Amino acid sequence: MSQTAKPRTEPKPEISAAAVKREKILAAIQSLEERPMQVETLIALGEAYFRLGTLPDAELADAAKALRQAAKYDPYSPKMHFHLGRVLWLSGDFPGAVRAFQETLKLAPQSQRTYLHLALALIEMEDAEREIGRAILDALSRGSDAELLEQRGVLDEHMRNREKADGKPPASQRRKKRENGNEKNNGELRWASARLVWIVDQLARPAPNMRAVSRVFTDLAGKNGGGTDAAIVALLMLADADACGSVKALCAENHLLDADAPPAKMLAKVLNLFEVEDPAVFVEQAGEAVLAGALPLALAGFIHYNRFGPKSQLKAPEAVRLLDRYPEQIQRDPFFTELRLAVLDGYAYSAYTARRYNNAHLLWESARELDSNRVDVAHNLALVSTYLTSVDDYQRDWQRAIELRYQLAAALEDIESYSQDRIAIHQGFTRQSMTRHCDPSAPVSTQDDAYPKFIADRTSIATWLEEWDLYYINSRLQFRSPVHRLGVARDASPEEIEEARAALGKMIDASLHAKPWAGIKVFCELANERVKQAAELALDDLERGRDPYYNAEKSQAESLANEVLERSITLIKMLQYFLKELQEGRSLTGSEMRLAADMVRSYMLFPRDFLHKLQLSKGITDEEHRLDEVVLNYITNILLAGSDQEESESASKERMNAFESLSPYLPDTPQIQVARIRMLSAAKEYRKAYDLSVKTILRINAMEQSAPEDGAEKEGEETPENLKALKENLISSLDHFAVSSMNKDDAALVRNGARTMEDVQRLVKALRKALIDFPRAEQIILALAMNLSHLGEDGIKEAMALLEKASEQALTEKSRLEMVKMLGNLRTEQKKAGPRAEAIRLVKGAVDSVQKLQSNAAGVQSQDDIRAILEQAIADVERGIELAEEIGDNDLKKQAEGVLSQMRTALSNFNRRR
């Protein structure tokens, strides 16, 4: 490489002008904020934030934030509010946009620009607001400032009385309409595009006022430079297939086509296309025109759709094939994909309404291939599947349709997306599930007679339980008012707010988290964040006080609260039904117990204090009685009933699972724990049963120690006698669990005892193993210690160590004393072991030496030697006898005395022979 070669540099990324400007503005803001807050600085800050919020590449949320700051610093500048309104419109917050434009008009009451945008925001809202928006456009098209002012008053009145609005335009507006039906143009239109927007709005109406449109069209055409606007209007009119004739006439009247300007040329081109009858020729010419840039694809597309789409004479296959004739380049355009989808959808809808479900299905399937995430296609497919296929098949399609609504909200990171759809579908399935057995016009809580069949229909009842929870969650999340979102009163305490937050979070996690839907975890995070935000706002007194959505959403919140109440009563009544069955002698099956547990879990997902207050307010309960405690009482009885009887392993497992699932809610009493232990044991979960037993025993010990000295009991608590009995029961069950977990042979050995040393060895091994998993099974400990003591000094040592440790952790005084006693015995045994061993050694040694003499194995020759050996042997045995006597081992002593007698006889005989 040459010495003079320049080092390679990475190409610098291009920085946009907007980004540079942003950096400079942010730096300026920082500098301004360090200054003393005088008027000059405040206005400069306002302007700085304004420029930040109106940068071309600003994210809408950031732009809104910046413009709010701008309005804060310079609240008397109308442009701050105007642009905030514009950004809010683009963000989809039309009510917010309206408020911002109203603020603008307070400062600039003559601004037709603001009126235009106000109208555009109103048109996106409900009927009443849309009506006002249209009236504003009418006034704008006439340039009538007086009328605009009037409409502003109407809007202000309407927004104030929004809750009472009956959907009709406010009275003052209706009067004005009657009086001024024929008001002529009497003002000055200072914002030119307002007239065009008015025309667009007119054309968009189901029954446009074509006379008025024609009049305005003629006005536009007559103005200098107005030919362009008129041509644009004509082109817009041509998007509607029926307008061709009237457009031609208007163009001819106003000589629009005579001009040489591009709009006129485009208009002429489009009108020529309308002359083409043959679809294939139309496609050819339209395609060429689009590729040549003579007209936009959107215009060609709409004309094609109107002339050769679902409303035309063409059959579906022809219409679809026709689209394939467009040039490849056009077919690749995203708008063309939408055109294709619109054609398929239109034909599919016609087939569906004509009950040609197979055709509809095929067409929507084709639409799905174009966009697999189109919610409405998935919805329609699920609907038509319901007519065509079985439950197993159509349920897949419905699951997909539901999944998409969560997935897309998660992808957009916007909980509000598709929220109405989610509410509707879950409400739909809830209602569908109950109408099979209950009358849909009456509350379920009043239809006790229907419960047996409803509950017996497992699919329907499970759906009813699950879907209602999902309906409820989505209904809560859609509220904008924080207190309504949480479901608390406006004056709720911080504790109530926190309880509601926690309960709703739990419900979201319990009902949604485990669903096998794409994006569900993200959805749950968004949902939990929304709940958290609501709690934060609700805890802030100022925010809670100025909650702008509270009143508007109040009736909806009250309706939902009533549904919660109805739901709670229904669940209680269903549990009562189960109890009644038990009282009448029927045992519940495992699945019924699980169902009862599901009902209780559903009930417990509500914030308990809130629900209790609600029930109190409706007179369903009183201060003395809490229905959540009643519910827990019911389920405890349901799950305990029959638990002490033999039942199948599967039923036992169901019962246990139901119990476990309710463990966060069940009272933590020894009785409940004993029931759980019993179930675990029946389900052969010995280790779990053991662990819980030990825990319960220790707890009872603690309760006994803290019992009042006067013996007075607290209401609801167990008596000392009961506790004692429970404890004893539990302690004995520890050994039972340990033995039950052994293999058959070992268990038999434990029960029958060891008969031989080989048995002792095996038994010790089995017991050692059992104590690893069940270290506090006391009878096992004692049995091991006893058997170890048969295995010599090492065995005794191990047994003593075992008993020393176990006695420190003894579960009762009685068992501790037993262990201490055995330990004492072993210590004594240990003390005796040495002398015993010595005595045995002496006696055995003596016997061996005499036996060797007799067999001449010792190789002894002289008589004196023989005598000496005999005398030594006798001395050894005598010493052994002494030792045996010292340790009190009478058996050994007796044996040794027998040996001694024999030896003395032998010596005596020997002496006689000599």
Q: Which of residues 745-764 bind other proteins (CB under 8 A)?
A: none
User: Does 115 interact with other proteins (rule: CB under 8 A)?
Assistant: no
Binding other proteins by CB under 8 A: which of 41, 218, 729, 761?
41
CA distance 791 to 797: 10
Q: Which is nearer to other proteins, 167 or 664 (CB)?
A: 167
Q: Which is nearer to other proteins, 82 or 774 (CB)?
A: 82
Number of helices and strands in the chain (H, E): 44, 0
Binding other proteins by CB under 8 A: which of 81, 99, 113, 836?
113
User: Does 270 interact with other proteins (rule: CB under 8 A)?
Assistant: no
Tokens of 584: 């009448």
Binding other proteins by CB under 8 A: which of 102, 111, 151, 433?
433
Tokens of 113: 């620009």
Restricted to residues 292-321, the positions that interact with other proteins (CB under 8 A) are 293, 295-299, 302, 305
User: Does 123 interact with other proteins (rule: CB under 8 A)?
Assistant: yes
User: Does 201 interact with other proteins (rule: CB under 8 A)?
Assistant: yes
User: Does 424 interact with other proteins (rule: CB under 8 A)?
Assistant: yes
Binding other proteins by CB under 8 A: which of 16, 37, 92, 127?
127
- Cα-Cα-Cα-Cα dihedral sign, residues 45, 46, 50, 53: positive
User: Does 235 interact with other proteins (rule: CB under 8 A)?
Assistant: yes
Tokens of 598: 């599901």
CA distance 659 to 640: 9
User: Does 33 interact with other proteins (rule: CB under 8 A)?
Assistant: no
Q: Which is nearer to other proteins, 46 or 670 (CB)?
A: 46
Restricted to residues 692-721, the positions that interact with other proteins (CB under 8 A) are none
Binding other proteins by CB under 8 A: which of 436, 762, 768, 797?
436
Q: Which is nearer to other proteins, 31 or 911 (CB)?
A: 31
Angle at 722 between CA 717 and CA 725, to 5 degrees: 145
Q: Any idea of the CA torsion for 493, 495, 501, 504, to the nearest 10 degrees?
A: -100
User: Does 342 interact with other proteins (rule: CB under 8 A)?
Assistant: yes
Binding other proteins by CB under 8 A: which of 91, 285, 463, 671?
463
The runs of H, that is alpha helices, within 34-144 are 39-53, 60-73, 78-90, 94-107, 112-122, 127-141
By CB under 8 A, the count of residues binding other proteins is 108
- Alpha carbon 903 to its chain's center: 92
User: Does 200 interact with other proteins (rule: CB under 8 A)?
Assistant: yes
User: Does 430 interact with other proteins (rule: CB under 8 A)?
Assistant: yes
- Cα-based distances in Å from 219 to 26, 148, 231, 254, 257: 48, 21, 12, 10, 16
Binding other proteins by CB under 8 A: which of 67, 71, 84, 116?
116
Q: Which is nearer to other proteins, 340 or 608 (CB)?
A: 340
The 8-class DSSP code of residue 224 comes to: T
User: Does 590 interact with other proteins (rule: CB under 8 A)?
Assistant: no
Q: Give 3-state DSSP helix, strand, coil % of the chain, rounded to 5.
A: 75, 0, 25
> Smallest gap, in angstroms, from Cβ of residue 198 to other proteins?
10
User: Does 129 interact with other proteins (rule: CB under 8 A)?
Assistant: no
User: Does 423 interact with other proteins (rule: CB under 8 A)?
Assistant: yes
Q: Which is nearer to other proteins, 57 or 704 (CB)?
A: 57
CA distance 408 to 430: 23
Binding other proteins by CB under 8 A: which of 100, 323, 383, 800?
383
- Cα-Cα-Cα-Cα dihedral sign, residues 415, 419, 425, 428: positive
User: Does 209 interact with other proteins (rule: CB under 8 A)?
Assistant: no
CA distance 375 to 418: 9
Q: What is the DSSP string of 289-336?
A: HHHTTSS-HHHHHHHHHHHHSTTSS--HHHHHHHHTTS-HHHHTSHHH
Note whether 117 and 86 are within 8 A (CB).
yes
> Smallest gap, in angstroms, from Cβ of residue 656 to other proteins?
28
Q: Which is nearer to other proteins, 207 or 712 (CB)?
A: 207
- Cα-based distances in Å from 430 to 424, 440, 467: 10, 11, 5
Cβ of 648: how many Cβ atoms within 10 Å? 10
Q: Kindly write out the interface string for residues 143-182 of this chain, putting x where it contacts other proteins by CB under 8 A and - elsewhere.
A: ----------------------xxxx--------------
User: Does 64 interact with other proteins (rule: CB under 8 A)?
Assistant: no
Q: Which is nearer to other proteins, 481 or 636 (CB)?
A: 481
Note whether 428 and 445 are within 8 A (CB).
no
Interacting stretch for other proteins, rule CB under 8 A, among 246-254, 390-398, 834-842, 893-901? 390-398
Q: Which residues contact 738 (CB under 8 A, 6 or more apart)?
A: 686, 690, 770, 771, 773, 774, 777, 780
- Cα-based distances in Å from 274 to 210, 250, 270, 313, 527: 20, 16, 7, 16, 52
Q: Whose structure tokens read 């002490």? A: 644
Interacting stretch for other proteins, rule CB under 8 A, among 147-155, 280-288, 387-395, 843-851? 387-395
Q: Which is nearer to other proteins, 47 or 609 (CB)?
A: 47
User: Does 554 interact with other proteins (rule: CB under 8 A)?
Assistant: no
H helix or E strand, kind and range, residue 416:
none
Binding other proteins by CB under 8 A: which of 359, 432, 528, 825?
432
Note whether 897 and 881 are within 8 A (CB).
yes
Restricted to residues 79-98, the positions that interact with other proteins (CB under 8 A) are 79, 83, 86, 89-90
User: Does 20 interact with other proteins (rule: CB under 8 A)?
Assistant: no
> Smallest gap, in angstroms, from Cβ of residue 272 to other proteins?
17
User: Does 341 interact with other proteins (rule: CB under 8 A)?
Assistant: yes
Binding other proteins by CB under 8 A: which of 65, 93, 349, 798?
349
User: Does 192 interact with other proteins (rule: CB under 8 A)?
Assistant: yes
User: Does 50 interact with other proteins (rule: CB under 8 A)?
Assistant: yes
